[in-house]
């Protein structure tokens, strides 16, 4: 895994919005949905991810991503989503003062072939994680999600 740089993850600073939730009561498992839709450019940008976050079995401190429910997902998007997930696991460790193992399981994804950029999936993943812990901070635009 490449070293984490906050500037490599658009909207990563938004994890700050759920800091108190993570400190006070880290309740797992959770599920969240994240979208990034930008129609005003041509071509538009679009990414959607729904995921479940739970603690790894036996309280391991390893972060695991299980893509078994997702088929035909390009590696370039998968690796960027995993980068955000790993960054978030490190973020939690820094906030609560101990490393815990997180198990990320993407449940659904959607993208526009030829129009979705890797950053679109980073943003959607950040928003899905935030939505998992607080559904008031990110309201995914599910009307435009294409399945």
What are the tens digits of pLDDT across the range 17-61? 898 888 888 889 999 999 998 776 656 688 999 999 999 877 677
Residue 147 in this model has a pLDDT that exceeds 60: no
122, burial (CB in 10 Å: exposed 0-12, middle 13-18, buried 19+): buried
**How do strand 64-65 and strand 102-111 relate by DSSP bridges?**
parallel
Which of 74, 65, 76, 80 lies closest to 9 in space, CA to CA?
A: 80
What's residue 43's pLDDT?
64
Length of the chain in residues, anyone?
A: 147
pLDDT class for 7, splitting at 50, 70, 90?
Answer: confident
pLDDT averaged over every residue in the chain: 85
Is the separation of the CB atoms in 105 and 27 below 8 Å?
A: no
* Phi-psi sector, 37: left (phi>0), alpha (psi -120 to 50), beta: beta
Instruction: Encode pLDDT of 74-118 as tens digits.
Output: 888 899 999 999 999 999 988 888 888 899 999 999 988 777 888
Which of 86, 49, 47 lies closest to 65 in space, CA to CA?
A: 86
- CA atoms of 121 and 139, how far apart (whole Å): 16
Instruction: Tell me which of 11 and 125 has the higher pLDDT.
Output: 125
Q: State the pTM of this model.
A: 0.89
Residue 36 bridge partners (DSSP) = 47
What's residue 8's pLDDT?
79
Structure tokens at 65: 């991503």
Residue 143 in this model has a pLDDT that exceeds 80: no
What's residue 135's pLDDT?
84
Which of 136, 119, 147 lies closest to 17 in space, CA to CA?
A: 136
Instruction: State the DSSP code for 115.
Output: T
What's residue 146's pLDDT?
58
């Amino acid at each position: 895994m490449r070293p984490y740089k906050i500037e490599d993850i658009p909207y990563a600073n938004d994890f700050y919005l759920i800091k108190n939730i993570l400190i006070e009561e880290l309740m797992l498992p959770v599920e969240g949905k994240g979208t990034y839709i930008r129609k005003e450019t041509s071509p538009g940008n679009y990414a959607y991810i729904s995921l479940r976050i739970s603690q790894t079995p036996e309280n391991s401190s390893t972060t695991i991503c299980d893509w078994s429910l997702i088929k035909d997902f390009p590696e370039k998007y998968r690796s960027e989503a995993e980068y955000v997930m790993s960054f978030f696991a490190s973020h939690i460790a820094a906030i609560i003062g101990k490393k815990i193992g997180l198990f990320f399981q993407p449940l659904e994804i959607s993208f526009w072939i030829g129009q979705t950029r890797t950053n679109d999936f980073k943003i959607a993943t950040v928003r899905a994680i935030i939505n998992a812990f607080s559904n008031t901070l990110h309201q995914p635009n599910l009307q435009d999600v294409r399945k």
